[in-house]
């Protein structure tokens, strides 16, 4: 479910024709740059009603990393 919602976010912000999987890399596969990644994270925060710290943001390399942070922050109550 999270992956499908993230696919919608990616489709809104980037041009990516491949299958989005937890292994999809933000920079190498999606072509996201230093401007795109914060926009994607902000959209994910709004979609899932969570907050991702700047420290956590720096650790995000793949869609799976983002899913893990969303799960962690949802369990912690945002």
Are residues 52 and 69 in contact, defined by beta-carbon separation less than 8 angstroms? yes
Catalytic entry in 11, 19, 29, 33: 33
**Residue 33 annotated among the catalytic residues of the structure:** yes
Mind telling me the catalytic residues?
33
């Amino acid at each position: 479910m999270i992956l499908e919602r993230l696919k919608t976010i990616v489709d809104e912000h980037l041009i990516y024709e491949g299958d989005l999987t937890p292994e999809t890399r933000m920079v190498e596969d999606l072509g996201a740059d230093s401007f795109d990644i914060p926009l994607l994270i902000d959209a994910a925060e709004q979609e899932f009603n969570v907050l991702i710290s700047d420290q956590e943001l720096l650790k995000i390399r793949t869609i799976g990393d983002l899913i893990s942070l969303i799960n962690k922050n949802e369990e912690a109550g945002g």
